[in-house]
Amino acid sequence: SSKKLKWDNNLLKTYSNSILIITIAITFYSTPINPLIARLFEIYNVVLNKTFTNYDQVEIQNRLWQKNDFVQLAIPNIGVWVGRNHRPGSSGNGTLKFMILGSSTMANLAPLIQDECGPKAKEISQVTFPCICRYQPCFKACEPVFPTQSWHCTKQFGEYLEAVRDEKPDYLLMGGRFMSMGDPLAENITNIDFDPFLAVARDQLEEYMKHVSKKIILLHAFPRPVIEEVEKLAQHFREKMTPEEIDASLSLFKLIVDSFEKGYNIAKQRYDILLKECGAKCDYIDYTKIFHNPKTNTVRYFNDIGLSYFTSGLHLTPIALEIARPDIKELCNKL
């Protein structure tokens, strides 16, 4: 039977067995006035059950996802996503306890995890917290493996561990965007084994392991989207930039994906070490694999007409969640 993710956005429905099917009719023409190539298209997106014929429609859809971003994080029948909750709707036929833990990034993934891991679960608890900032915009989400250097994260760091101790899940799925885990090594440290950030993360992961009977699944570090440019995606396409040209900008200046040197490389290195040391007790979710584009060997955070895979809140959009679904399903099948 088909499972559904229900979105407040009335224009779309996503289905668990959906695959993204795109049919493209492109006509190329040029005029003496404007030598740039103009593209006419008619693209049907199965996930959205919608046909796009111009970039204004693409921009409206992207903006609609921004508008509804945090509304979509709410747990069904509860109406909130912040704090400690139990997700309703589990079949009751499973035998395993699952816990979803972290920032709003994990609240974003939670419906997908419930869809695919739900048949094995007798209960799914969720412990997710927002970023809390004194000033806007806010990008200081709290990481579950390190007390992110923001004024509110020390308290949440303890609450994460307390929740795991209380629930004692069989499987713990946790993560968030890298923040402090992407901070550079101190100037006096030449060997990452002596990195204090890594030392704290090791200790915290070991504490979690004491209360998790089977396995911990980490969301691996992933390159940051540049939100200001993600919001301009339709405009870039309207100005005749191709997806390949946007990808090529990765080697020149960072357009949609931020510079790997701004935290991603060191965060990835730290997470790689944590996962290696954890061994068979850990697994991971990898956005760089899910959104990898083999033609250009880059991560791509948008589709062929400029529909975004990320919101301005740095959450996956509905079409991106469906792209991620096969990987989450494969992960759940292994548990």
What's the chain's Rg over C-alpha atoms?
Answer: 21
pLDDT for residue 130: 80
From the candidate CATH numbers 3.40.50.1110, 3.40.50.300, 3.30.360.10, 3.40.50.2030, the one assigned to the domain spanning 4-334: 3.40.50.1110
pLDDT for residue 39: 53
pLDDT for residue 28: 28
pLDDT, greater one: 90 or 77: 77
* Cα 300–Cα 246–Cα 182 angle in degrees, nearest 5: 55
pLDDT digits (tens, 9 = 90+) for 5-64: 443 333 333 333 333 333 333 222 222 323 333 456 788 888 888 999 999 999 999 999
Residue carrying the six token digits 């993204």: 20
Q: What is the pTM of this model?
A: 0.82
Q: Which phi and psi (to 5°) does residue 297 adopt?
A: 55, 45
Task: Please give the Cα distance from 223 to 278 (Å, whole number).
Answer: 23
pLDDT digits (tens, 9 = 90+) for 313-334: 889 999 999 999 999 999 999 9
User: pLDDT confidence of 278, banded at 50, 70, 90?
Assistant: very high
- Structure tokens that stand for 65 in this block: 């996802």
Instruction: Please report, as a single letter, which amino acid is at residue 93.
Output: N
**DSSP string covering 272-323:** HHHHHHHGGGEEEE-HHHHTEETTTTEE--B-TT--BSB-TTS-B-HHHHHH
pLDDT for residue 327: 97
pLDDT digits (tens, 9 = 90+) for 184-195: 888 888 889 899
Provide the phi-psi class of 252: left if phi over 0, else alpha when psi is between -120 and 50, else beta.
alpha
Mean pLDDT of all residues in 259-286 = 93
pLDDT for residue 229: 85
Task: Please give the Cα distance from 220 to 108 (Å, whole number).
Answer: 15
Q: Find out whether 286 and 220 touch, Cβ atoms under 8 Å.
A: yes
pLDDT digits (tens, 9 = 90+) for 110-141: 999 999 999 999 999 999 988 655 444 455 57
Q: Which helix (H) or strand (E) holds 126?
A: strand 121-128
pLDDT digits (tens, 9 = 90+) for 145-204: 877 666 667 778 889 999 999 999 999 999 988 877 878 888 888 889 899 989 999 999
Range name among 83-87, 160-164, 208-212, 257-261 with the lowest pLDDT average: 257-261
Domain ranges of the chain: 4-334
